[in-house]
Amino acid sequence: MPAILAHVTGSLWPQIIIATSTLVAAFLGYVLAGLNEARRDRRAAEREKLARAEERHSAAIRDRHQFQLETLLALQDAVQLMARFTGRAMHFDHMQAREGQYTQLPADHDAEILSNGFDVIRLRNRLLDQGLRRAIERFESASSAAMKPPAHYEGLSGEALESAASRLLGQFGEDYTLVMDQLGEALRTELSWLPDGDR
């Protein structure tokens, strides 16, 4: 009996070892698979987080370009209106000077000019391009100078008056053309901008 027991026990050990090894291997495989899956999930989460951050960054850039485009379009209209108001004021002064009068603009003109001036300042302050902001400021100064009380006409009449009016109008026209060219260039830059994915 002890011999049989020893024989059975002797033949069971290899089976026990094989079964135990299989069980340990299965357990280790399960653990390693879990670790690999956790690592894969972590990498996927990091990729997703990076993709979301990149998407937010791209959206912010698109929004900034859209905001600049809308600002430039509104500013172009406001500067055009400023030029029209300035031209109207210069014409008024010229006509007054022909009659030897040097009066202030009518009150309704002043209110429109003031409102337009505030619009131009508000829109100018939204520009990211510092050079363009300075160009708009120079045009605002030129517009203000052209609408000052018409002391430059005092004592002038006839051809001298017409020549002075023409010179002032020509200078202001040049200032207007220059600023509109700069605005047009900035607008074309914004219109031609495309997100990286659309290039």
Structure tokens that stand for 128 in this block: 């990211």
pTM value > 0.75: no
Which of 3-12, 53-62, 127-136 has maximum average pLDDT? Answer: 127-136
Q: Is the pLDDT of residue 93 over 70?
A: yes
* 14-36 average pLDDT score: 70
How many CB atoms are closer than 10 A to CB 123? 20
pLDDT tens-place string over residues 60-89: 788 888 899 999 999 999 999 999 998 888
CATH 1.20.120 holds for 63-198: yes
d(CA 72, CA 125) in angstroms, rounded, equals 11
Name 132's Cβ contacts closer than 8 Å, sequence gap at least 6.
182, 183, 186
Q: Is the pLDDT of residue 118 over 90?
A: yes
Which pLDDT belongs to residue 156? Answer: 62
In the chain, where the domains are located: 63-198
Which pLDDT belongs to residue 5? Answer: 47
